[in-house]
Structure formats: C-alpha cells, structure tokens
Amino acid sequence: MSKEYLTTSEIAGPLMIIQNVKDVKYNELVEITLKNGEKRKGQVMVAEEDKALIELYEPSIGIDPKEARVKFTGKGLEVPVSKNILGRIFNGFGEPIDDGPKIIPDDLIDINGNPINPFSRDYPNEFIQTGISSIDGLNTLVRGQKLPIFSGSGLPHSHLAAQITRQSKVLKTGEQFAVVFAAMGITFEEANFFINDLKETGALSKAVLFINLANNPVIERISLPRTALTVAEYLAFDLDMHVLVILTDMTNYCEALREISAARKEVPGRRGYPGYMYTDLASIYERAGRIKNKNGSITQIPIVTMPEDDKTHPIPDLTGYITEGQIFLSRDLYKKAIYPPIDVRPSLSRLKDRGIGKDKTREDHSDLMNQLYAAYSRGKDAEELAKILGEAALTSVDRIFVKFSDRFEREFVNQGEYENRNIEETLDIGWKLLSMIPIPELKRVREEYIEKYLKRFVSEEK
Amino acid sequence: MKKGIITKVSGPLVVARGLPFAKMYDVVLVGKLGLLGEIIQIKEDLSFIQVYEETSGIGPGEEVESTGTPLSVELGPGLIGSIFDGVQRPLDILSSSFGSYIVRGVKENPINRDKYWEFEPIVKEEDFVSEGDIIGLVQESEIVKHKILVPVGVKGKIKKIFKGDKRVEDVVAVLDNEGNEIEIKMLTKWPVRIPRPIVKKLPPDFPLITGQRVIDGFFPVAKGGTACIPGPFGSGKTVTQHQLAKWADADIIVYVGCGERGNEMTEVLIEFPELKDPKTGYPLMKRTILIANTSNMPVAAREASVFTGITLAEYYRDQGYDVALMADSTSRWAEAMREISGRLEEMPGEEGYPAYLASRIASFYERSGKVVNIGKEGRISTLSVIGAVSPPGGDLSDPVVQSTLRVTKVFWGLDDALASARHFPAINWLTSYSLYTVDLDSFYKKNINEELPKLREIAMELLEKEAELEEIVRLVGIDALSPKDRMILEGAKSIREDFLHQNAYHEIDTYTSLKKQYLMLKAIIKFYEEGNKALDEGIELDKIINLDVRVDIARAKYISESDLKYFDELFEKIERDFSSLKEKSKEEVR
Ligand SMILES: Nc1ncnc2c1ncn2[C@@H]1O[C@H](COP(=O)(O)OP(=O)(O)OP(=O)(O)O)[C@@H](O)[C@H]1O
Ligand SMILES: [Mg+2]
C-alpha cells in the first residue's frame, strides 16, 4: 500500500507542492483526499528527491494544505475499457456520469497512449460518404483522416458535425461503426443537442460520450480528449470498429492549456499560449489513423472556433499545421442562409485524392472537382471585381461565372440538415451546374466526361 | 561501474547526481528502463540530461549510467532503404519486434549485423592507405555502390585484405601502422554533432536538377547548396520536399521528417518503392534513407533527428556521392530546442527560443557544400540541404525563418494566396530568390541552350510588370489598359499557368527535364513576342489571344518527355498562325 503524505507546502491555482516525499515518479497519478473525504485527482509534473510538483486535474477549491492527504498511485491516469462502454456517458477521467451501472473493465489503459510507429501506419484511402456535397464532392473525407472544422462563434458547426455523425458511411457493407464524442467546455445546450440527435437516430447505442461542460472544471479538459481517444483506440484496434471522433471545441481545450501554463509560470508563447502547444496538439491529432494488419480506424473531426474568425490565431494555425486539411465555415454564407456554410475555396482535404475516382467514387470525380472549384473561384473573383467597378466591367463570360457561383452556393453547397445525398447525386448536381457554362470554358474536364456526364443536362438547362 | 542517481524528472529533462566521468553530450541510460539520453549541461555534481524517450514513470532514486561516448550514428552498408527514428532506431524492426506502437527502452541495432555483403577489395597487401581512402566496394542496393573507407584518424600499410561475403562487424582488412595492427570493419560510428572532416569546400557550380519548373527555371539550387522553404500550413512545403526527394538528380537522398505527420512518412514508404528514378530506372527507395521523428514522438529525439540525418548524408558524401538532404520541418526542430532550453531555465531570446538558435541553425546548414573529400583521389562531391520552415501564421518575421535566411542561398517563399487559389507550387515568383542563378547560367547555356537565361529574364520582367498592371486594373478596370499592356498580362498569365503551375500529382507534369522546360518557356515567350509584333502591325488583341495555338501551348506540360518533337510542330504552328492572322488582316484592309 502506498503511503499518504500530509506535507503539502504550497497550493497555487492548479499546482501543489508536496514535501518530504519518496520514490515519486514523473507523470504518476496522485489522489488527494480532503478532510471531508472528497477525492481529487492530480498528476506529478516535476518529481524531485524530496518534493513533488503536482498539477491538479480538478479545482483546488476547498483544499486545505494541512489537512489534504496526498497519495501517489504509482501509475498514470488510466481509463477502464470494455465492450459495455458503448452508449455510455463519461467525464474527462472516464468515470460514468449517466445513470448507468459501473463499468466492469476488461482492461485499464493509460490515457497518454504510445506514439504509433510511422512504419506501422497504413495510408488512409477509403472514401467516407458524409452525404454533404461540399465535403464529398470537393473536400472528400477518408477513413483515418483528421479533418477539422474551422468555424467561428455562432456558426452552425455543431449541426454540421451532428449531420456528419448521422450520415457518414463507407460504400461497403458489414463493418462496425462507433462514434466517440469528446465535448470540452461546451454549453449544456450544445451537448444536449448532440445527445438528443444521437438518441433520435438510434446511434447512441454505438456511441461513447465524454462530456466536460462550460461550467465543469477547466483542467479536466486536458485529460478529456486523451481519455476519449484511448477509448477510440480500444474500439478501433482491439474491437475492429471504424470510429469517428468528434472533438469539440479545441479552442476551449487550448484555453485550458494556456491557463495551466500560466499557473506553471512558463514563458508564454504567442498570445500567451505555451510554446509546446504544437506538440501537445499533435499528441491528440496524431492519434487518428489506420494501422497495418488491424481492421479498425480512427477518423477525427475536431472543431475549432477561430477567435475573431482569424485563421492565423495560434489555435487554428497550429491545428492546420498538424491536421490533413480543414473545412472552413463562412460567416458570409451563413448570412446568406446557406447551410452548411462551407466556403470551399479555403477548405481542403489533403487526402482527398486517395479516396476518389474509379472504383472508389466515380471516374469523373477528380476532373469535376477541379472544374467546380475553378469555376466557383472565377465566379467569386468576378463578383468581387463587379462590386468595385460595376457589372459593366465584366465580360459576358464572367457574368455567366458569377451566375454559376451563385447557383453553386444555393444548389450544391446548400442542402438540408437532414438531406443525405449520395455521391452520384452530388456529382450530378455538379455537372448540372456546369452545363450553364460554355463548353470551351470547361478546361479541367476530359472531353469524354463532358460527353458522358454533362451533355444530358445541356438541353435540360436551356 | 559506479552510477549516478536521479534527483529530478521534469518532462524530457532529467537531472542526475554523482554520475562518474560525465562529459558534455555523452549518451546515458536513464532509470530502470534504460531510456536513452544525452548530457546537455553539467553543474558541479549534477548532470542535466535530455531524454529521447517518454519519461513517465521515471523518478528520483533510479540510476543513470553513462556510455562514455557522445550520441553517434552507425555507418556502413545497410543504411539505404531504411527508416530510422531521430536517434537512428530502425522503425521497421521496432514495428516487427514490438508492435504498432513505439515502446520505451528498447534497443535494436540500426544496421543489421547478420547480413552478408560481398566485399570487393580494391587495394592489395602492402599498399599504404590513410583516412578516407577506399579499400573496397559493396553493392548496397541496385544503384548504390557502398565504398568502404579507411576510418578517420587511421592509416597504415595493408597487412591483410579479405574478399567475399562479410558481415558489417567482420574484419575486412588489417593495417600495420608502425608495428601496431589495426583491424578495419565495415561498421563505423560517428558522433552526430561533429561534422565529418573534409579537405576543403569549393563554390557550388552545378545545378541540382529537380524537374520542378519554378525551381530549375527560375530559382535553382546548386548541388552542394542550401535552400529554405518557409510557408504557412497547407502551402506546399511537404509536397515540394517530396518532389525534390523524388526527382532531384542526387545520388542519395536523406529525408528527415522532423516533428511532422506520421501519414506523410507512410506516404513516402508506400510511394518510393513504386516510383522509378528517371536516371537509373530503379525504385527511388533504393537511394533513399528516411528519418522519421513525427510530431507525437519524443521531443528530444526530434532535436537530434536533423543531426542524425546530416551525419548519414555526410557519410555518403565522403564516398563521393552527390547527396541531398530534406528536413521537414526545421521549425519543429527549433521548437524542440526551445522546449529543452526552457526546462534548463536558460535565458530566453526572441519568442522564447534560446539565444543560440541562430548559431545552431547556421551550424546545421554549414555542413552542406561542394567539397574535396579526404582520401587519396581528392574525390569531389556535394551535400545539398533543403529545409522547410513553418512560421506561426506564415509570418516571415519569425526568428527561425530569419535565422535560416541568413545562412541559406535560395529562398522559395510559399504564398498562402497562391495556395488557396490552388496555384501549385505556391512559390511566390516576386519574393523568392536564388543566389546561385548567375553561377549556374554557364551550365544552362552550355548544356541546355545559350538563350535560356535570356528567356528567364524576359519572363521575370513580364511577371513583374504584371504585378504593377494588376494594381491599375484593380483601381480602374481592365479597359484602361493599352493593348500592349494587355498583351503583357496575357504573356504573364501564360507563364504562370502554362509554365510555373505544375501539378505534383499528374503523371507527366510531375517532372519536367531541363530540355523540356526550355522548350516550354521558349514557346510561351515566342507567342508573346509574335503577339507584340502583330499588335504593332495593327492586329486586334482579341484575335491574337483567341488563337488556337494557345491551347497547344497550354497542353505542352502534359506532353511526354519522349515526345519533344511536339515542340518543333508547336513553334511552326505559332509562326503559321501569326502569318495567317496577318494575311487575313491584310485582306480585310483591302
Ligand atoms: N505541387 C503541388 N501540386 C499539387 N498539389 C499541391 C502541390 N503542392 C501542394 N499541393 C496541395 O496542397 C496541399 C498541402 O501541401 P503540403 O502538405 O505540402 O503543405 P505544407 O506546407 O507542408 O503544410 P503543413 O505545414 O501543414 O505541413 C497538398 O495536400 C496538396 O493538395
Ligand atoms: Mg507539411
């Protein structure tokens, strides 16, 4: 039995210093028992010969240094896993917070995990159909990818994430899916929206939820995504499931990180965020992927609300440096009542080329994607120009492109929150819209595809 | 042997007391697990150690043992085609022995000890040899003939030399140095932080041909030169580095994935064995060494990874090869330095980076160069270094970018606006530069075409004028421009779209030979010049820019290298189209 210490000498914010300790290990889990029997968790930040610096996972409120009994557990923070966790709701430590029974674990796993050996990875290349045209058509998601949604406050990223969760499927049968939902510092309403959505669609029984609300302890947000991903890894690589992990909201996570860094009195980096934030975020995002000789996969959709819609802010910036592309939500489109308000121009799925084409989606997908993108960009550029110099400054062809980009937003990007378009439908809407453009202007698509996919719309449109 | 005792563990930094014979940068084994670490500071009885593996579960009281040698890499046949972590652990072997995750405290030899190589001696008994001399050859891969060198600091008369199948630890030669016998094995070691010796550096004067048009054509890098690719996320640093690793005409490629994505290394591992080197026809993997210390792997090993990479690169350079090293991304390396420095409580410099950031970066890039090697023949070979930099928000005032620009000769500035307009490679032609251009012109003139530098100059001028004219267009609209100015815009657009834009994922477009680059540029400039002449003769701009032949110019990038006669027809067609245009306009006048 490990010994308990009553030698706390200092508490400041989430940090505690314990004196005269022996055999403390770096990163080991610490349990603090308050006078009233209440328990708090923490972790060793610095282990020295006779003292230890502890970072609490929970608030320090009410801890009396003279009364606190500190126990070093000799192991890291571990999460219990078993098949029965599906359908359950936990806090950031993997403790159930629903009314269900206690989990009888098959295994206890350290939440920090080990890095995947890059040699053991398998390259993500299987198309996931989300049923959302602007994603499937232009920014295709593949299994094992990490593709964040870059949003702004007040934009419907939760609705989009819920829709992706509801509709995602692979064009193959007989595989098992699961959803891991990791909520960090979001409001009760947002969390509730998600839970209800999962309930209504019957997906709750295939989901594991980890919830830390805005009014829950900030520091628990540091362990929450790690706990959630440990469970995701268990489902994916031990139980062969294809796991979709929604991490919301990474901005709240990073703010918690900053708060703790400040408490540790570390030299602050840009905007006060710690210099190691890149590495810290990577230790979360890099847990997505596929592994050779294992059947399951982990696909991550982190949500990042960009402070002031600024993508150079450290949170989206460092996220973008780690993830494999990004989906941008646009305030302009939102104001135009386009749902989902995805701006396809700055959005990019870096792994898209691996998941599309013949035998995966359709042979014309790549050409069509490039053409739609080019035509939309041209239309938007022309629109900009027209704003400054007036419609008259545009050539007649440019005017067609302006019209195209407007219809593209309203018919291709815009769709119902419960509208699930299959990939054929998505591609066909694309061709249909392209048919309003004079054929010689369609330089990115092969002639054979024009014959095969475009011609049938030409008369219809006229 | 007496051991030290851990007094403190703080992340990757461990402090030990009483470590006997502690020397700076010696490798130590930390704790019960024997984690690999390196002494980076000594204060009285305390040794400060950066540990290359995750330190969770390690605590005060555990022992630390010094190996007495600095962090070193193993050198010898068997490196080519391997994938190592930042401290040269073989990731493929770790994967097969220990599973999909990287576990701690495991040791595997970087170079296989059991494999037999056919050693073919090229010296005979009684020959006198000294450091750097080649004593034998080993066919390491289909395309790499590994040269076994007399180790640094060794000389003597060959007393015995062996032939035939040998393992790396077998003796292949015995030297007699004034009565002392010295055994030579294929396997040697070298400390990563110390550059391998050379006789002298020479000014680089040959291009590293990359097949990337914006690079070879506009901002070339020399063999033995240095280049820096800064850019915000998603601007194309990694794709550019991969393109260079694939197509650059170096003999050996060392690719260091430093603190970046795991999947990007997987991509290389999947693609390179499939892709064929245009020069030799063998898979690219047969000339490549990968170092992968991805962002989720331990930070201290990330710090070591670039040194590990460059030491391997120097070793092949010493053998007389042209080696190119890519490091993606040096920012992650600098961040690793910052983290360790912070833990040492050193006085921070700019942005929290240590004050020695600039000198560390300089010392890395200075290991590049065109050199005369040690060894009899005075072999000349090169080591080129290309580093990606990932500044926060793409802001070039970042200290890592600035320190790098001070020591590199080529700047490929990646531009967010170009990337989001999907103009790839998103290398900004107005801000990028190469200080080698002039030195390499004589090569281009001699080997490709006398007029190539001239064409580049015209093209550059058009692009610069375009930028000015675009300003005007933004303010007052295109109608305000004269036909001549609009012709400039058309010419510049053609340079951008038909030459600079290059799709890395297109089977043919991905690589363009210098010859073809020249022909493409020539066609574009020819059209522009003919167009200008036509304008002078009073032909309307619209007629010129709607000429069919422009489609053929645009298609040129997709023309296979074996089909370059396409250009003869293209040049003829340009002339034909313009003369018939002139004919027609004369008729109309009449
Ligand atoms: N030469 C190219 N041809 C075609 N596409 C390209 C090219 N360069 C970049 N891209 C596109 O841009 C995407 C991002 O490029 P890349 O991964 O090289 O960016 P990066 O600068 O390394 O970003 P990060 O800093 O996040 O690692 C690629 O996935 C690809 O879609
Ligand atoms: Mg990159």
Residue with token string 């190592």: B84
> A318 to chain B: which residues are within 8 Å by CB?
392
E strands, A289-411, in order: 289-291, 297-305, 325-329, 342-349
pLDDT category at B299 given cuts 50, 70, 90 is confident
Question: B526 in helix, strand or coil?
Answer: helix
pLDDT at position A265 is 82
Q: At what angle do helices B483-494 and B514-536 cross, to 10 degrees?
A: 170
**Sequence letter at residue B344:** L
Interface of A with B in 267-296 (CB under 8 A): 267-270, 275-276, 278-279, 282-283, 286-287, 289, 291-294
Task: Take residue A377 and report the two structure tokens written for it.
Answer: 């960009």
Provide, rounded to the nearest whole percent, the portion of chain A with pLDDT above 90.
71
Q: Does A462 have pLDDT greater than 60?
A: no
The answer to which of A429-433, B38-42, B226-230, B398-402 has the lowest mean pLDDT is B38-42
Share of chain A above pLDDT 70, in %: 98
pLDDT single digits (tens) B62-82: 999 999 999 999 999 999 999
* pLDDT tens sequence across A102-136: 889 999 999 988 899 999 999 999 999 999 999 99
- The answer to whether B253 and B288 have CB atoms below 8 angstroms apart is yes
Mean pLDDT value of segment A265-288: 90
Spatial CB neighbours of B210, under 8 Å, sequence gap ≥ 6 = B216, B221, B243, B244, B247, B248, B249
Q: What sign results for the dihedral spanned by CA atoms A394, A397, A398, A403?
A: positive
Q: Diameter of chain A by CA atoms?
A: 85
**pLDDT tens string B16-25:** 999 988 899 8
DSSP string, B530-587: HHHHHHHTT--HHHHHT-THHHHHHHGGGS-GGGTHHHHHHHHHHHHHHHHHHHHHHH
pLDDT at A421: 96
Phi-psi region of A376 (alpha: psi -120 to 50; beta: other; left: phi over 0): alpha
Nearest to B264 by CA among B241, B286, B287: B241
Indicate the SS3 state at residue B412: coil
Pocket of ligand 1 (CB under 6 A): A 320-321, 350; B 231, 233-239, 260, 390, 424-425, 502-505
Pocket test for ligand 1, best of B424, B506, B507 (most atoms within 8 A of CB): B424
Q: What is the pLDDT of residue B415?
A: 93
Q: What is the pLDDT of residue B426?
A: 95
Partners of A144 on chain B (C-beta within 8 Å) are 263
Distance B399 CA to ligand 2 centre (A): 19
> What's the confidence (pLDDT) of residue A433?
96
Q: What mean pLDDT do residues B562-572 have?
A: 94
Tens digits of residue pLDDT in B216-242: 999 999 999 999 999 999 999 999 999
Task: Tell me the shortest Cα–Cα distance from A407 to chain B, in angstroms.
Answer: 20
Ligand 1 pocket test target in A350, A366, A370 with most atoms within 8 Å of CB? A350
Give yes or no for residue A59 having a pLDDT over 90.
no
pLDDT digits (tens, 9 = 90+) for B415-472: 999 998 889 999 999 999 999 999 999 999 999 999 999 999 999 999 999 999 998 8
pLDDT, position B84: 95
The yes-or-no verdict on residue A2 having pLDDT over 80 is: no
Query: Across-strand partners of B74?
Result: B189
What's the pLDDT at A13?
84
In sequence order, what are the residues at sequence separation of 6 or more whose Cβ sits closer than 8 angstroms to the Cβ of residue B501? B423, B424
Arithmetic mean of pLDDT, A329-348: 95
- Name the closest residue on chain A to residue B31, using Cα atoms: A25
B46 interaction partners in chain A (CB closer than 8 Å): none
CB contact A47 to B (< 8 Å): yes
What is residue A230's predicted lDDT score, i.e. its pLDDT? 96
Give residue A262's pLDDT band: very low, low, confident or very high (50, 70, 90). Answer: confident
Shortest Cα–Cα distance, B159 to chain A (Å): 44
- pLDDT at position A461: 54
pLDDT surpassing 80 at residue A171: no
Q: Which helix (H) or strand (E) holds B418?
A: helix B416-420
Provide the pLDDT for residue B556.
93
Is pLDDT above 90 for B90?
Answer: yes
In angstroms, what CA-CA distances link B358 with A338, B352, B387, B407, B416?
A: 49, 13, 14, 9, 26
% of chain B exceeding 70 in pLDDT: 99
* 3-state SS record for B32-79: CCCEEEEEEEEECCEEEEEECCCCCCCCCCCEEEEEEEECEEEECCCC
Supply the mean pLDDT for chain B.
93
